[in-house]
Amino acid sequence: MPRLTEQEQQEIIRCLEADKPLPERYRFLLFDDKREVELVWNGKTNEVCNLVLPFQTIEQVDEPRAEQAADTNAQMQLFDQRGRQQKGWTNKLIWGDNRIILSSLKNGPMREEIERQGGLKLIYIDPPFDVGADFSMDVEIGEETFTKKPSILEEIAYRDTWGKGADSFIAMIYERLILMRDLLAEDGTIYVHCDWRVNHHLREILDEVFGHFLCQIVWKRSSIRKAASHKFLSVDDLILIYNRSTDYIFNTIYLPYSDDYKARFNQEDEHGKYYWIDIGTYSEKRLEELKALGRVRFPDNPNANPRIKHYLHEGKGVQPDNVWTDIVPINSQAHEATGYATQKPEALLERIIKASSNEGDLIADFFCGSGTTAAVAEKLGRKWICTDLGKFAIHTTRKRMIGVQRSLKEEGTNFRAFEILNLGRYERQHYVGLNPNLREEEKRKQQEQKEAAFVDLILSAYKGERVEGFECFQGVKAGRLVAIGPVNLPVTRLFVEELILEARKKRITRADILGFEFEMGLFPNVLDEARSKGIDISPKYIPADVFDKRAVERGQVTFHDVAAIEVKPLITAAKKKTDMPTVAIELTDFSVFYSQESIREAEESLKNKGSKIVVENGQIVKVTKDAKGIVKRDVLTRQWTDWIDYWAVDFNYESKREIIRVQKQLNTSAQGTLPGTGPAQQNLPEWEEQWTGEYIFENEWQSFRTKKDRSLELASTPHECTPGRRKIAIKVVDIFGNDTMAIIEVTIPSKN
């Protein structure tokens, strides 16, 4: 028996004394030889995440391009006076770790919404199995293409974890599949897309988790001929299909007859072209009818099946088998291409969605990538939930879905609103260890206890040092004092004003403010105010990467300066009594300070005749070295607009509060299960609504670049507004997917 640590021995003794089963890991620590037949791996556990965090609503899109105020007389009860969807299911696009998202969906208040829609009828997932391709994105800048590297979270969560071998991959997907199974409706189906690297592992896991294997699809994804190899070329992917039960949704799909198939109809009578086929699943009644019509032929061999006369005009088409060779993969010229190396064609998802769901059903994709599942679901009239860890994936899907909405609107076809969610400050509270459900006084005490560790974490990631004797500052770096904002709140004007006051009192001239969020409208006014008092303040975002200690230890965490948006409102008074005044927004400047590697490092590492694109201090520079070793720098971001990928306007910000649902109390008297949750009974919590103090950005107008159209409008269309003061929010997303918001206050004049 392998040697156990003292801590492990004590844990075993405690379990035995309490008559509790030993944790799963001890079967490997205590016994060298496993005699049972079961799927096991080092580190296997039946423990599944049950964390519930509220979802923050970041943005809502239910009018892809409003050119004027909505006609209130034409709106149905589903919409409010602005034409915004106010009830019914809203599709969900969620950014974050799908382990926590799945747990929050399963155990949180959104579960009730899912069950009201009939539960999840279909789940399609394409989990990353070639991480280098999955998280690197090609970003176009003018005529150049820059490869965006994976974020630290993406790189560590996938590349490093999976690089440890099969055990880590199996553990990752096993827990998530259990959560998906518990969310899937009883008549639901899951499709798991994979390739030769992981299909054997996934098949075993799915057998254990779901049990009801339907079949596997072999999709020929490539026909490219490569150089000679010492093995057969791999040109296919596998799609494994499992169900919750033997009673599942399946709609027969028919494909058009090919010319080769039509050639089989080589006989003809007065009713049309036909050929003889083996008898299929005909009822006795139908078979007798066909016999009476002379359409049944019995062969001379008594052991052979009868044959049926099959007419061309009666056929619905050919039902596809499980080998799909008729769906071509995405290429760079495809109209639906988004730049994702692993993007799947819409035709593939269309066949899957049509086969295993019905119109109005709710479907999900928890590794959504470029958003193919959401796009096809919307076109086919399905409701959807899509999630991804990559922020750029969420941004790509947002643009794609707005494009789908625009197309459907032009066709006069209905479409649903979608909202962008994340776990935001609640996930940060979880990482730091703060309990958001505590009373304010208890929360304050716990926050004080955690504060020292939190500050040390941020300073370590920022490569700063602790300082004492200040009220607002916790650290110092390169001669600049460092102030760290709260983990669960934005950095406010009051926070900055107190910092400025202490800086003036103690003659501090340079300071950095690190924050997860900053109060809207805080910059650039407060920075100008500080400069007028001789203080240089640099606000920087704290990335979520700080909560992965491996990223901190490797010094891979980058704190980006807060970008600045400048806009100009264009207000037009009403000329007639029947007219309404209008306001348009002109985007006049966007300043960004982004770094990814350094120009000097690129110059030193480049070989002769090599080139590299580098991002440093808000400039994208192409560094080249010729055959003689002479270095040349070409700045690709020649103007501020080159940094912008997308911008949008909410013409009446603060009109829609962000409401979250949190647990009120545990109702121990009400026993039962949520529909579709399986056999286990559970207590059902009660939920109450709370206003977070924030507002939802309602996307009413937007302009963005696409792969086919790189142009960008810099002024919105005029928007009709009622007279009076209002706040207008402007959101800009840069070419790397980072969001920046600004809020302006305008006065709309009364009618003449």
Strand segments (E) across 519-576: 536-541, 560-572
Helices (H), 94-236: 98-107, 110-116, 131-135, 152-154, 161-162, 166-183, 199-209
Q: What is the mean pLDDT of the chain?
A: 83
What is the per-residue pLDDT for 221? 84
Domain 428-558, architecture per CATH: 3-Layer(aba) Sandwich (3.40)
Model confidence band, residue 107 (pLDDT cutoffs 50, 70, 90): very high
Q: What is the DSSP letter of 529?
A: H
What is the per-residue pLDDT for 355? 96
61-86 confidence digits (pLDDT tens): 976 665 554 433 333 445 444 444 55
What is the per-residue pLDDT for 652? 93
Q: Among 260-264, 351-355, 383-387, whose mean pLDDT is lowest?
A: 260-264
State mean pLDDT over 715-739: 90
What is the per-residue pLDDT for 144? 65
Do residues 404 and 386 touch, judged by C-beta distance below 8 A?
no
State mean pLDDT over 311-327: 87
Taking Cα atoms as reference points, which of 400, 379, 378 lies closest to residue 388?
400
Q: Among 197-206, 541-550, 667-676, 719-728, whose mean pLDDT is lowest?
A: 667-676
534-581 confidence digits (pLDDT tens): 999 999 988 877 877 777 887 878 888 888 899 999 999 887 777 889
Q: Which residue would you say has higher pLDDT here, 78 or 14?
A: 14
- Residue 267, both tokens: 């006989």
Q: Which residue would you say has higher pLDDT here, 603 or 79?
A: 603
CATH number for region 565-656+696-748? 2.60.40
Model confidence band, residue 113 (pLDDT cutoffs 50, 70, 90): very high
List for the chain the helix, strand, coil content (%; round to 5).
Answer: 30, 30, 40
Provide the sign of the torsion angle of the four alpha carbons 243, 244, 246, 248, taken in this order: negative
Does residue 100 have a pLDDT over 80?
yes
Do residues 357 and 378 touch, judged by C-beta distance below 8 A?
no
Does residue 396 have a pLDDT over 50?
yes
652-682 confidence digits (pLDDT tens): 999 889 988 888 755 444 434 444 444 334 4
Pairing of strands 657-672, 682-695: antiparallel
* Secondary structure element (H or E) that encloses residue 691, with its range: strand 682-695
**Residue spans per domain, the chain:** 1-36, 56-63+72-253+321-384+395-422, 259-314, 428-558, 565-656+696-748
What is the per-residue pLDDT for 59? 92
Name the residue with tokens 């007798």: 288
Q: What is the DSSP letter of 642?
A: G
What is the per-residue pLDDT for 684? 63
What is the per-residue pLDDT for 675? 40
State mean pLDDT over 517-542: 85
* CATH superfamily, region 56-63+72-253+321-384+395-422: Vaccinia Virus protein VP39 (3.40.50.150)
**What does residue 314 show for φ and ψ, rounded to 5 degrees?**
-90, -15
Q: Give burial (CB, 10 Å; 0-12/13-18/19+) of 376.
A: buried
Q: Which residue would you say has higher pLDDT here, 472 or 525?
A: 472
State mean pLDDT over 275-294: 82
What is the per-residue pLDDT for 401? 95
As a whole-number percent, the residues of the chain with pLDDT over 90 amount to 37
Whole-angstrom Cα distance, residue 376 to residue 64?
17
* SS3 label, residue 421: strand
State mean pLDDT over 493-511: 92
Q: Which residue would you say has higher pLDDT here, 177 or 34?
A: 177
Residue 418, Cβ neighbours under 10 Å: how many? Answer: 28
Q: Among 372-381, 596-605, 615-624, 644-653, whose mean pLDDT is lowest?
A: 596-605
Measure Cα distances from 431 to 96, 345, 354, 560 in Å: 13, 37, 40, 21
State mean pLDDT over 298-320: 83
Q: What is the DSSP letter of 64?
A: T
State mean pLDDT over 225-230: 66
What is the per-residue pLDDT for 81? 42
What is the per-residue pLDDT for 72? 36
What is the per-residue pLDDT for 402? 94
Taking Cα atoms as reference points, which of 329, 339, 288, 293 lies closest to residue 314?
293
**What does residue 33 show for φ and ψ, rounded to 5 degrees?**
-115, 115
What is the per-residue pLDDT for 346? 94
State mean pLDDT over 631-646: 90
Q: Which residue would you say has higher pLDDT here, 220 or 443?
A: 220
* SS3 label, residue 218: strand
Query: DSSP labels for 1-38?
Result: -PPPPHHHHHHHHHHHHTT-PPPTTHHHHH-S---S-S
Does residue 340 have a pLDDT over 70?
no
Model confidence band, residue 207 (pLDDT cutoffs 50, 70, 90): very high
State mean pLDDT over 407-422: 89
Does residue 238 have a pLDDT over 90?
yes
What is the per-residue pLDDT for 132? 44
Model confidence band, residue 707 (pLDDT cutoffs 50, 70, 90): confident
Q: Confirm whether 428-558 and 565-656+696-748 share one CATH topology.
A: no
Model confidence band, residue 215 (pLDDT cutoffs 50, 70, 90): very high
What is the per-residue pLDDT for 82? 40
Q: Which residue would you say has higher pLDDT here, 231 or 596?
A: 231
